[in-house]
Structures are given as C-alpha cells and as structure tokens.
Chains A and B, each alone.
Chain A
Amino acid sequence: MSTETIDLKTKLITDFHARESVMNGEARSAFYQKKRAALAQFDELGFPTPKNEEWKYSNVRDLISASYNFNTSDTLSAEDLIDLKMPEQAANILYFVNGHYNAELSKMASSSDQIIIDSLQNAYKKNPELVNSYFDELVKDDNDAFTSLNTAFAHDGVFIHVPDNQTVEHPVILRFVSDARKENIGSQPRNIIAVGKNAHVKIAEAFRTIGEERSFTNVVTEINVGEEAGVEYYKVQNESENAYHIGTTQVRMLDRSHFYAATVTLNGKFTRNNLNIVIDGERCEAHMYGLYFPDGTQHVDNHTVADHRKPNSESNELYKGILRDKSKGVFNGKIFVRPDAQKTNAFQSCKNIVLSPEATMNTKPQLEIYADDVKCSHGTTTGQIDEEALFYMRSRGISKPEAMSLLMFAFCADVVSQIKIDSIREYLENVIAEKLSEK
C-alpha cells in the first residue's frame, strides 16, 4: 500500500472526527449513527485495490493519490453555466454545485402535491424521521468502501418523494456541476428517491465539470420503486479530462413495478458506475441500458446487478461501448436468480466497437442461478466496425468517415432512443454526433 493511499483515507477519517467534535445533540440521532457505522466500515475496508475482485480492472490509485477540497461553498453563478450549454426544457431542474444544492440556480415546475423535491439537507430538517426511514436502507449491505464513504459524509443531495398514484408530468433533472477552476474538488452527493404505489416519474442525473483541476465525485442514489410504479432513471456523464467519478445507484423494486435505467458516459478521466437492482417483487420489469464512448486514456467501468428475488419478473440489459485511442472499458454484469425466483426471464447483452488496437475492453457476465425454471441469456461482442457495411456505404458515395459516423451513430441510437426526456435525448444525439465528427 502506498503512502498516498493512507493519506486520503486518514485525512477523510480525521475530517469526520473533527466535524463530530463540534456537533451537539445531533450526534446521537439514528441518522448520525448510520454515518458513524459507515465510517467504521470505510476504515475497515480501505480504498479498494485490484486485488479486490470487484475492482480488478479499475485501479483507483491515481484517484486517491491527490487531495480534494470537499468543503467548498457555492462558487458558481448562472453566467458560469452558459458555456456548459445545458439543454432547456420544462422540467424541475436542480443544481448541485460541488455536491451542494443551489436554490438560486434551480427551478421547479411540478406542484408539491404531485411530487416532493427538496435538498437532502432541507428534507432532513423538515422531516428527519421520513428521511431517515429511507437513508442507507438500500445500501447498508453493500460492501463497498466508496458507498460507505458517501454514507459517512452524506450531507446534501436530493430527496424526492412521489406520493401514491401520482404521475409526474415534468421530469426531474438533477445537475451536478463540479467547479474545478481553482483547486481539486471533491463532492459526495447522496440522493434518495422514493416512488409510491402506482406513481410514475422520470429522473435524470447529469454530471458536468467546469475548470481544469481534478474533480472527484462519489455519488450514491437510493431508489425505492413502489408497487405498480414506473420509474425512468437516466445518468449522463459529460465531465472533464480530469474528472474522477464513482457512483452507485441502488434500486429496490416491488410487485408489478417497472424501472428503466440508461447510463451514458460521454467523457471523464475515470468512471465507475455501479447499478444494482434488487427485484423484490413479482411481475416486475427492469431495463438497463448503457452507453460509453471513451477516448484518450479514459477509463469507464460499468458494474451492474440484476438480483431476482421473487418469481415471474423480467430483467433486460443492453450495454454498448465505442472505444477509441488508448481508452479502457470494463463491463461486469451480474444476474442473480434466487431459489424463489422461478419463471424469471433475464437477458443481458454487451456490445463493443474497439476502434484502435491500443484500446481495450474487458467484459464479464456473471450468472448465478439457483432456480430451475428460468430463462436467462447473455452475450458479449467486441469487434471492429463492420467492413462489409462500410464498403456497401462507400460504394454508394458516402465517404469513409461519414459512413463510420453513420454506423456508430446507429450503434449508439439503440441506447439513446430509450431516453424519454426529450431535451436530454436531443442533447446526447448532438454531443455524440459532434464526437463522431471529431476524428
């Protein structure tokens, strides 16, 4: 273990205790006890090394070799955001600057009887029991140092509650912007989403960076999907060349609910996304789509879990990647079918186009099936652009770069077209088209 490793870890633990020493009664709250337990777990686990099977291909050494300022206050104004060209649309748009909610930049479109949207901090102040009843409940068994670290420092983020039977017309767009113009910035947003019975909502998390210094985002989102509820959840990352991103989205689905996720990573130095779905109900449908498009020496790792615990549900997963230059991709997709989960249908597919001999893609499907009456399939492909298709297009007068871009755009469209928030889908289409025309 290098000395730097000890440095960031020790620094964080010291920081935690320093904060604790100036707390009053709140230190005794149930909420805080969870944080304390999480810190102890983080202390025990330490940052993962490639010896840890879950982190075999993703080395965080570089990420933890620097120090980050986790305690900045709001540093961004509306003008600063103009350059980010973020799409406009009628939506509930919430800004988080360096992980902290910024009310001034944010705007709400839905009424509060349809949906409660608040910063985690405010929500906790208003109703500690309610927030605490969800906080950490889905991730407490997650044996992951970064998740524990996030729980220990959970302070701000979003709290969303959709009451039973509400269909929320306007989407919720959460924009996390790291301001790395002056120094290395760390942020650890914690999001809690609870969608009631037969309620429907679309939620997006968008991650951006301003500035050239490092940003380190360690985000955790817990999503409770009630019976018969329908949730669309999108995570879009278009960060800087110096952005490190670790994220866990933990989902629990109840009977007859539907959950759609799309995780799109367009840019960032080092990205690790964990998407874990526990299908704890019958006749559920879970869909997971993913797209990653690294270049340079970027690294994108997607770990997913579809955990079937009850019978008669379906999970369906499609991840796609285009890798250029010396970039690296990792896909690890786990499917668990527990003994009770008879008549499960679980499908998984991961398709990659590797455009350079120096780019690499590691794929690992992992199926653990303990029930006998199930339909499961998985497949991964990693290849180059289809030469036959390319020649066919060129023989019609389409230049090679244009033909490649059409083929790759079509390849991405399978995932992008799943996104039901128009402004985000269009934004992605534009950014992808732009990226395709770069080279």
Chain B
Amino acid sequence: MLSINGLRASIEGKEILKGINLEVKPGEVHAIMGPNGSGKSTLASVLAGREEYEVTGGNVIFQGKELLELAAEERAAEGIFLAFQYPVEIPGVTTINFLKTAVNEIRKYNGEEPLDAARFLKMVREKAKLVRMNDSLLKRALNEGFSGGEKKRNEIFQMAVLEPKLAILDETDSGLDIDALRIVAEGVNSLRSPERATIVVTHYQRLLDYIVPDFVHVLYKGRIVKSGPKELAFELEEKGYDWIKAEVEAEEVNQ
C-alpha cells in the first residue's frame, strides 16, 4: 500500500530525513517511536504534502501512485490522513462546515456526487457518537479555544468521517486523559480493516496497549535504525533510547 524508498527531506537547508525505508501493507499497524527531534513529525508532514519541506531524494509509492507528485489535497483524496501533533485553530470556519467541504471536495476528486445535507448530517452524527464528540463542538469554529484533548479528539473524529485508507497519527495520545485515550483508540480500531493501514507515532507504550501494532520502528537522526515486533515498544519503555543511540554511534564509527 505504502512504500517509502530512501526518502530524504530537508528544511531551510538542513537535512532532517536521511534515507527512510518503510513498507506498509493493507491491514497493518506500524508504530514509529524515537527521541524528540528525530524526524517523526517531519516524515508525517512530508507524507501529507507539506510544501515547506524539500524532498532531496528517494520516492514514495502509495497504491501504485507516486505520492510525492501529488498536492496535499490530492493525497487526502487518495486516502491519506494525518492527525496533527498540533492541530491548527481556524477562526470563523465551523468544524461541521469544514468537514462538509472536505467530504465533498474528496467526492468531487473521486468523481462522486456531493452528499446532500441530510445524509451528511446523519453520517457526521454517527461518527461523533463513535468518538463521543460533543455536538456543540461541531458548531464552534474549528479547534478555536478547544482544549488540548478536544483538539486531539477532533482529529480522530475527522478521521472517522473521512475514512482514510492510510491514517498517520502523530502523537494523538499526548495530552489525553485515560478515558479519552481509550475513546480515541476505539475510534482508530473501529476503522481497522484488511484494506486500511495505520501509522502511529507515539512516545508511550500505553497507546499501543489499545492500538496493537504489527511492527514497531525506531526513528533516530532521520533514519529508521531499528524495527521489531510489538515487544520492541516494551523494551524501549523499559530501557529508553540510549542503547539504540549507542548502537547507531558504533555503526557510524565503523563506517
């Protein structure tokens, strides 16, 4: 479904991603962990199409298409969804109106008729219930004045509405209380299916108790330096990153 090959990207002349390789198959959940500043959000942003980053090498194939050649909105329409680490506040545009525009723009891209207001509302209500998102939040300006947890929940709500093929969750768990964490995880799990895949960026094992990954990867200094089964997350939780850093440094010396 997604195949990242030797991806390099930089911002303001500084190389952040230094050759990422990752293969994601339909139905899989991949967790990406790694120390602060290692490039996790950068990778997520590059996949979603943020233009500030300059791709300097490698390629990304998503469902047979050269992903990097598509504009951000085209990637969304092709089925990529990024839950932002820091969701943006958009004054004056209500969540509901924003989502309606998004849904219909995506439908237009895929050659479908726009959803009528009644069907859209019905669908939105169902999804809101799924992530226990308060109706009053939907009518407010998008994320404006939302609490940290409400913003994160809104991300998952949007994901539920847009039903992406590949969801990338960037630290959706940080700032959530235990109950919210469970609700968010339920939302993610309800979308799990053999056709869909998820990439979960997180610092904490606890989210992975709810969203059980098939693979865990460690991103460090712009490269995936270690991959393993879900048990790798336990090991990281226990031992931190120092041992991995040491391994990488030893390798760098050898080269």
Interface residue ranges, A against B (CB under 8 Å)? 386-389, 391-400, 402-403, 406-407, 409-411, 413-414
Contact = CB atoms under 8 A, between A and B. Distances in A.
Contact of B49 (A394, A406, A409, A411): A394
B109 A407 contact: no
Nearest to B45: A391
B71 interface: yes
Nearest to A410: B92
Nearest to B110: A397
A413 B93 CA distance: 10
A391 B72 contact: yes
B90 A402 contact: no
Interface in B74-111: 75-77, 81-82, 84, 87-93, 97-99, 101-103, 105-106, 109
B93 A394 contact: no
B76 to A, nearest CB: 4
Given A391-B50, A391-B51, A391-B72, A398 B102 contact: yes
A397 B92 contact: no
19 contacts: A386-B88, A388-B88, A391-B51, A393-B90, A394-B72, A394-B76, A395-B49, A395-B76, A395-B84, A396-B158, A397-B76, A397-B109, A399-B105, A400-B71, A400-B73, A407-B92, A407-B93, A410-B91, A410-B93
A203 B187 CA distance: 52
Q: Which of A394, A395, A400 has the most CB of B within 10 A?
A: A395
Contact of B82 (A387, A393, A395): A395
Interface in B18-70: 48-52
B60 to A, nearest CB: 16
Given A393-B90, A396-B99, A397-B105, 15 more contacts: A387-B52, A389-B88, A389-B90, A391-B49, A392-B84, A394-B49, A395-B76, A396-B81, A397-B109, A398-B101, A399-B105, A407-B90, A407-B92, A410-B90, A410-B92
A399 B99 CA distance: 13
Contacts of B93: 406-407, 410
A402 B88 contact: no
B194 to A, nearest CB: 23
B162 interface: yes
B73 A399 contact: yes
A407 B144 CA distance: 14
Contact of A392 (B51, B88, B103, B141): B88
A403 B72 CA distance: 12
Contacts of B103: 397
Contacts of B82: 395
Given A391-B50, A391-B51, A391-B72, A398 B105 contact: yes
A386 B77 CA distance: 22
A397 B102 contact: yes
Given A391-B51, A402-B101, A406-B101, A396 B90 contact: no
B162 A396 contact: yes
Interface of B: 48-52, 71-73, 75-77, 81-82, 84, 87-93, 97-99, 101-103, 105-106, 109, 141, 158, 162
Contacts, number: 79
Contacts of B48: 395
Contact of A397 (B52, B88, B106): B106
Given A391-B51, A391-B72, A402-B105, A396 B98 contact: yes
Contacts of B91: 410
Contacts of B92: 407, 409-411, 413-414
Contacts of B99: 396
A401 to B, nearest CB: 10
Nearest to A396: B102
A391 B50 CA distance: 7
The 10 closest A-B pairs by CB, nearest first: A410-B92, A397-B76, A394-B72, A392-B88, A397-B106, A396-B102, A394-B73, A397-B102, A410-B93, A395-B48
Nearest to A391: B50
A391 B82 CA distance: 11
Contacts of A413: 92
Contact of B77 (A387, A397, A406): A397
Contacts of A397: 73, 76-77, 102-103, 105-106, 109, 162
B131 to A, nearest CB: 16
A398 B77 CA distance: 9
B73 A398 contact: yes
A414 B91 CA distance: 10
A395 B75 CA distance: 8
B71 to A, nearest CB: 7
Q: Which of A394, A409, A410, A411 has the most CB of B within 10 A?
A: A394
A407 to B, nearest CB: 7
A394 B90 contact: no
A399 B93 CA distance: 15
B88 A396 contact: no
A419 to B, nearest CB: 16
Contacts of A388: 88
B115 to A, nearest CB: 13
B247 to A, nearest CB: 35
Contacts of A396: 73, 76, 81, 98-99, 102, 158, 162
A388 B81 CA distance: 16
Contacts of A387: 52
Contacts of B50: 391, 395
B49 A392 contact: no
B99 to A, nearest CB: 8
Contacts of A386: 88
Nearest to B86: A388
A386 B93 CA distance: 14
Contacts of B90: 389, 392-393, 407, 410
A393 B98 contact: yes
B113 to A, nearest CB: 16
